[in-house]
Chains A and B, each alone.
Chain A
Amino acid sequence: MKYIDEYRDQNAAQKYLSAIKKITTQPWTIMEICGGQTHAIVRYGIEDLLPDEITLVHGPGCPVCVTPIDKIDKALAIAARANVIFCSFGDMLRVPGSSKDLLTVRAEGGNVQTVYSPLDAVQIARDNPDKEVVFFAVGFETTAPANAMAVFQAKEMGLKNFFLLVSHVLVPPAMESILSNPECRVQGFLAAGHVCAVMGIKAYEPIAARYKVPIVATGFEPLDILQGLYMCVKQLEENRYQVENQYIRAVAEQGNRPAQELISKVFQIIPRQWRGIGEIPQSGWGLSKEYAAFDAERHFVIEDVSTNEDDLCISGLIMQGLKKPAQCPQFGKGCTPDHALGAPMVSTEGACAAYFKYKNTVAV
């Protein structure tokens, strides 16, 4: 398949692997930001092919994993209401809240629908004027343009029965939070290619300079990742710390301007809780004043949900690169995809799910 097979070619991969081996003279710890990259790394067995000196740690870039539990509990409360059609990407349905997940709400009679695009939810709202339609708008900068477009269109259409439950998060503040932790051992980053495709790569320059870390905007195919790693290791070995772009076929330096304009119209920057990590200032998007009427949290009066996070889950440490999934005592024992304690075990982008699915590593 065009644009896929070229990036999964064994010969080309071998070339990059030997090139990485050739330039590596000392141990390096590199974090890939995005859960999609984590899955590619584990799915293609990349870690085992790399030189022993290189350690990959897995970043917080799994939107499902970092969505705070109180937001999930609110989603569960809204979805259970009689007059609501609750729309979500499939990924969110299995994520455990304090006591259940959206699949359980559906089984109990809630109208929970999987959609492939937020615009599908807008259409559902048009088709069901007597229902209140809520879309669970989670994600990083990647999903923000489509979510913003949904609200934008809903407003243009004059829809009064469409709402977003927003839990948007931003990559650069999370990177700063990771780097400012005294225990941080990350020396270089593979930045999330699709986030950069929307926002560009400029925002990473102050981070690279301030913390002296190379940052390489990287794609998601195995060869993208090998090339990104090569570029990152090369910088580390040469004691450089610049922002580079591996994913040139998708990422322009300035990003996607029309998408950015739409986002800044619909959303505003706010502090945001990250599940397992805590509050990070200026790290999220909420609806702007102009679009506040579409905010599900404003429209639905939800009594304070008392959250109950399982304290056995160490997802925060994993998503900050401080632990690997197999270092969690619950991994594969108390926590499996069929009975998860935390979101990274059920999300298709979660690091724990990747390890369980592709490595089947047992807890150490």
Chain B
Amino acid sequence: MSKVKISNMECPIPLDDYKYVMMAHGSGGRMMGRLIDEMFLAVFTDVQPQDSAILNVPQGKIAMTTDSFVVRPLFFPGGDIGSLAVNGTVNDLAMCGARPQYLSVSFILEEGLAMETLWRVIQSMHKAADVANVTIVTGDTKVVERGHGDGLYINTTGIGVLEHGHNITPEQVKAGDMVILSGDIGRHGIAVMAEREGLSLRCNIESDCAPLFAPVQALLDAGLVPHALRDATRGGVATVLNEIATAAGLQINVSESTIHVEEGVRGVCEILGFDPLHIANEGCFIAFVAAEDHVLALDILRKHNKKASLIGTVSEGKPGRVTIETSIGGVRILDMPAGELLPRIC
């Protein structure tokens, strides 16, 4: 874990006149050396100097995952590409019940990116890694010509440790399981879209971007083994439910009135014709737990997020089908979104 206090640190570059990323910053020469030493290594102090990081891993199983982050804009209310790149990968590990431990970080920088911007992203990653209790141990930098990237892309790969012998996968979900949603939905997708599209909203909607291992660990510590966990990122809750129903070969039935959606998010969705269940989240997940565990599981998850809620059940039904009871008592199919979400005409 990095011990460097960075909050008051000035951006160390421009050291000379480099206010912007130049092609030479990726060419392997002296400029690249300084970028790495004085920006990346100044913050990511646990990055090892050799070509690959040498890691201590315990006996037993480890989990590994990778994710690339191309969000536009780079900064949005509640987060930025840096915190997203840490939490996104950390959460993928957590959803397998693995304690996130190590991260690699790969930057693809566009020529002309402001050094100040890069510095803000690096600091944000450092802070997010600190909060998530994960160590950045290795990395890479490439620079692409202006016009060939959106300022900055990040790939992170994560390694986590399974400190238990349980198998937490969609295939473990059984008929009779209860479906718990760990928080309110829709904030990340709407916050990013509002920023990107310049929607002038009067309400302040912030991304829910956050690490999720703590609530998972709390469940495991209480002796509860979720059958499956999945963070509701791209495609939202609807997509996760459909994926799990298909993987488990079971039907999932949820109730609309039990799902928390912030007023502002609901308002934007109403105006633009989006279903909050289709909107991406970066800080909430769905847990499938045995019926006898659900009261305790809900209690524990509510300690982490008051808006955790029991939203439905799993039944034999029709394999792969997800239904939702509407607010007026009707029942409909809850499908995945088709293609990209596009605002409606009227």
**Chain B residues whose C-beta falls within 8 Å of the C-beta of A49 in the assembled complex:** 328-330
Q: How far is the CA of A222 from the CA of B326 in the complex (A)?
A: 10
Most central of B272, B321, B330 by chain A CB within 10 Å: B330
A157 interface residue (CB < 8 Å to B): no
| Inter-chain contact A138/B345, CB cutoff 8 Å | yes
Q: A359-B333, A360-B333 are in contact. Are A45 and B345 (CB under 8 A)?
A: no
Interface 9-residue window, one of B175-183, B225-233, B335-343: B335-343
Where the two chains meet, the residues of A that have a C-beta atom closer than 8 Å to any C-beta of B are 1, 4-5, 8-10, 13-14, 36, 42-46, 48-49, 63-64, 89-94, 103, 114, 116, 138-140, 142-143, 194, 222-223, 336-338, 346, 348-349, 353, 356-360
**Chain B residues whose C-beta falls within 8 Å of the C-beta of A360 in the assembled complex:** 321, 333, 335
Interface 9-residue window, one of B56-64, B132-140, B158-166, B262-270: B262-270
| Inter-chain contact B329/A14, CB cutoff 8 Å | yes
Q: A89-B345, A142-B346, A348-B273 are in contact. Are A338 and B339 (CB under 8 A)?
A: yes
**Chain A residues whose C-beta falls within 8 Å of the C-beta of B328 in the assembled complex:** 8-10, 13, 44-46, 49, 222-223
**Chain B residues whose C-beta falls within 8 Å of the C-beta of A349 in the assembled complex:** 344-345
| Inter-chain contact B332/A45, CB cutoff 8 Å | yes
| Inter-chain contact B345/A143, CB cutoff 8 Å | yes
A selection of 26 A-B contacts at a CB cut-off of 8 Å is A1-B263, A1-B266, A4-B266, A10-B327, A10-B329, A13-B329, A43-B326, A45-B331, A46-B328, A46-B330, A49-B328, A49-B329, A89-B343, A91-B343, A92-B345, A93-B342, A114-B342, A114-B343, A222-B326, A336-B338, A337-B339, A357-B338, A358-B333, A358-B335, A359-B333, A360-B321
Q: How far is the CA of A300 from the CA of B1 in the complex (A)?
A: 62
Besides A43-B332, A49-B328, A91-B344, 13 new A-B residue pairs in contact (Cβ under 8 A), listed by A number: A1-B263, A42-B332, A44-B328, A44-B330, A48-B330, A48-B331, A63-B346, A90-B343, A91-B345, A142-B346, A223-B328, A349-B345, A357-B338
| Inter-chain contact A116/B333, CB cutoff 8 Å | no
Q: How far is the CA of A10 from the CA of B330 in the complex (A)?
A: 9
Q: How far is the CA of A353 from the CA of B338 in the complex (A)?
A: 10
**Chain B: number of interface residues, binned into ranges:** 20 to 34
Most central of B199, B263, B344 by chain A CB within 10 Å: B344
**Chain B residues whose C-beta falls within 8 Å of the C-beta of A139 in the assembled complex:** 345-346
Q: How far is the CA of A64 from the CA of B345 in the complex (A)?
A: 8
CB-nearest residue of chain B to A116: B343
Q: A1-B267, A8-B327, A14-B329 are in contact. Are A94 and B345 (CB under 8 A)?
A: no
Interface residues of B in 20-49 (CB under 8 A from A): none
B10 interface residue (CB < 8 Å to A): no
CB-nearest residue of chain B to A120: B198
Q: How far is the CA of A147 from the CA of B267 in the complex (A)?
A: 24
Q: How far is the CA of A202 from the CA of B343 in the complex (A)?
A: 31
Q: State the Cβ distance, A86 to closest chain B Cβ, in Å.
A: 15
Q: How far is the CA of A36 from the CA of B340 in the complex (A)?
A: 20
